[in-house]
Structure 1
């Protein structure tokens, strides 16, 4: 199972808005046509379990007898460790089951800190399984614990994670307010990493809302904080965010500058996901200014990465993007060839939307 992650860059379980929102796609009424997020064709989990029901169900121990705390805590710690291992291995259903068992014990012991850590893990697992309802529940519970403990750093990242879920649910305005709360706390406690993360996510939210100038302002500020904290992965994400905002604003020079820097850093850090995102944006920017040779060079790099990852979805994206590039150049014979190669792959991946689009395009190109 291919992993998706929650947003904060530095938490054990992260929800990164960038990975949910498909890069380079204009904001439409169904925002999650891809943070994008094209994305959000996440498979439904089998037999999802409600957290609330689980943590309030009684433990199997005799009523009235004192708990033997140490064995219970050791058992819960083992369960949480196993849950993390299952999550890392991609066994999401098992991770959830084990995590809920650990959570039940921590709840009985009144161990709020361990409950918080378990909610972090469950939030990531539920999100990976496509269960947004339980993922949001876990994040809100994690946030509540952090507030009770006056744990400001965790509040910052939980609010950013919650903002991610709200975007994914199609509530970008609410997401922006939630992430803005995280920014206020970050500033109050002078948490530079939290400020960088919150500003970066606000940049992406405003891009989705079509507020490109605001998105650029937030993104430029975020880059400064990322660099102050030497947060290279965060800087790469923010540069890609900025590249997208500049692209949609029609500023191709700054688009190429930001995506280009993101691509260079991503290569140095072997970050294939962000390499692909940067390449996608650069292809759009270079083709917009008719630098077709450079666009084809970048597409070749995209295909090489897709093959190294054995990722048919990225191969499909390569075929479609190449077809569009040839179509833009009015080389309709080559465009048809790439679209025809893409069509069976779209069917194989059960990408109904892409399949329908390809059938339509091929029909339009039939006599050209």
Structure 2
């Protein structure tokens, strides 16, 4: 009867399938966990699952769908005060915009992500965001600025 535990387990199984490269199977498990998180009112679990679904769609090259799920997870991370989840989601949205060729929009999201990564002490997240900003500047032809990042 522990629906929240069931939701978390389904989400974890989805993550394993995603890491194994079995993206459709991952989506199946995430899709089972999402309504359970919603039913139990676990907004943090819901946010994480939405972010995970966005990641799968991004990996599958379906950037618009990825954006849709990341955009649903972002306000939930903010509402629950999960600044680390918020930073990661902002970075992921930046990646999607970069892949869509919208570099200036990508920079907007990266610049929102960076201070959150720093504030939460997520050095790995900070490094990834700095690298992503550098890549955008490189794609924009601003090599010296890219080098700074």
TM-score (norm 1): 0.39
Instruction: Name the SS of the counterpart of 1:257 in structure 2.
Output: helix
Runs of 4+ in 1 over 4 A off after TM superposition: none
Query: Which aligned pairs between 1:240-251 and structure 2 lie closer than 5 A?
Result: 240-251=91-102
Structure 2 Cα separation of the partners of residues 267 and 218 of structure 1 = 25
In structure 2, the residue matched to 1:193 is 44
Alignment match of 2:146 (pick from 291, 295, 299): 295
SS in 2 for 1:277: helix
1:271 matched residue in structure 2: 122
**Aligned equivalents of 1:279 and 1:202: distance in 2?**
24
For residue 170 of structure 1, give the secondary structure of its aligned residue in structure 2.
coil
Equivalent residue for 1:217, pick from 54, 68, 85: 68
Report the CA distance between 1:173 and its aligned residue: 1.0
Q: Could you tell me which residue of structure 2 aligns to residue 233 of structure 1? A: 84
8 Å Cα contact 1:203/1:242 also seen in 2: no
SS at match of 2:41: coil
Bigger fraction of residues in helix? 2
RMSD: 1.2
Aligned counterpart, 1:182: 33
Q: How does 1:146-161 map to 2 (within 5 A)?
A: 150-161=1-12
2:53 paired residue number: 202
Task: Give the Å deviation of 1:186.
Answer: 1.5
Task: Within 5 Å, give how 1:1-368 maps onto structure 2.
Answer: 150-298=1-149
Shift of 1:293: 2.4
Aligned to 1:51: none
Query: Distance between the aligned counterparts of 2:125 and 2:138, measured in 1?
Result: 20
> Please, which runs of 5 or more residues in structure 1 have no aligned partner?
1-149, 299-368
Query: Whose Rg is larger?
Result: 1
Task: Tell which has more relative contact order, 1 or 2 (C-alpha 8 A, sep 6+).
Answer: 2
Query: What is the count of residue pairs matched by the alignment?
Result: 149
Per-residue CA shift, 1:125-163, capped at 9, x if unaligned? xxxxxxxxxxxxxxxxxxxxxxxxx21222222222111
Shift of 1:175: 0.5
Give me the whole-angstrom Cα distance separating, in 2, the residues matched to 1:156 and 1:293.
47
Give the match's secondary structure for 1:276: helix
CA distance in 2, matches of 1:249, 1:155: 36
TM-score by length of 2: 0.93
